[in-house]
Amino acid sequence: MSAITSTHLLAQLNWRYATKQFDPNRKISDPDWAALEEALLLTASSGGLQPWKFIVVTDPAVRAKLLPASYGQPQITAASHLMVFASKNNFSEADVDAHLQNLAKIQGAPIEALAPLRGMLVGGIVQRLDEAARNAWARNQAYIALGNFLTCAALLGIDACPMEGFDRAQYDEILGLKAKGLASAVIATVGYRLPTDKYASAPKVRFPKEQVFIAV
């Protein structure tokens, strides 16, 4: 399989921006959305543990409820899709075991052979970290998924806006996340920009490479 070119990659990353105005009449096609969901499934995570759930919110009534919890930002209701990246609360040994059972099933490995890996994951995350630290770790993992999601959307020519400006407690209540052992971490609205969005043509503002990269 041939890789995309560096020119194509950088062109799409320069094209993308945090879209403020979405076209409410233009929806993401089913094949493109399926590709984005598959891309999320392929996201890397620490130990392969995937301590997250991805809540796809398309119901207009639910999104209308979420709008005040998002400080009235219009992307919430105008975008084609709203994705909520939720992290697992109180990640436990049972979560590690569920991952290892899945690993053994898919890769055909005897579960007994995974004992050293289990010891490393349980010791390094479940036992070493208290509940608050484990919750913070899981939230950080959700941001890895967000980054992958934004890049993949850009490569498909789909606009997105990552958003931390929302009331997590209200999101959790409206979406019933606490009962599922989850907490909202970050959200992204996805769709297609309106031509009137002035931010689309604004120059990228980044520090020079010399100020960002350190060679050792």
- What's phi and psi for 167, nearest 5 deg? -85, 105
- CB-CB contact of 189 with 211 (8 Å): no
Cα gap 49→33, rounded to integer Å: 24
Q: Report percent pLDDT > 90 for the chain.
A: 99
Q: Which amino acid is at 100?
A: L
Q: Report percent pLDDT > 70 for the chain.
A: 100
**Residue 215, both tokens:** 């060679």
Give yes or no for residue 120 having a pLDDT over 80: yes
- Look at residue 202 in the predicted model and tell me its pLDDT: 94
Q: Which amino acid is at 49?
A: L
Cα gap 92→103, rounded to integer Å: 17
The H or E element spanning position 78 is: helix 75-78
- Look at residue 200 in the predicted model and tell me its pLDDT: 95
Query: Could you tell me the sign of the dihedral formed by the alpha carbons of 46, 191, 73, 64, in that order?
Result: negative
- What's phi and psi for 52, nearest 5 deg? -150, 165
- How many CA atoms are closer than 13 Å to the CA of 178, on its beta-carbon side? 7
Give yes or no for residue 22 having a pLDDT over 90: yes
- CB-CB contact of 95 with 88 (8 Å): yes
- pLDDT tens for each residue of 133-172: 999 999 999 999 999 999 999 999 999 999 999 999 999 9
Confidence tier at 1 by pLDDT (50, 70, 90): confident
- Look at residue 169 in the predicted model and tell me its pLDDT: 98
What does pTM read for this prediction? 0.96
Collapsed DSSP state (helix, strand, coil) of residue 162: strand
- pLDDT tens for each residue of 44-95: 999 999 999 999 999 999 999 999 999 999 999 999 999 999 999 999 999 9
What is 6-196's CATH superfamily?
NADH Oxidase (3.40.109.10)
**Residue 67, both tokens:** 């709008």
Q: How many other C-beta atoms are found inside a 10 Å radius of the C-beta of residue 167? A: 15
- Average pLDDT of the chain is 97
Residues ≥6 apart with Cβ < 8 Å to 164: 186, 187
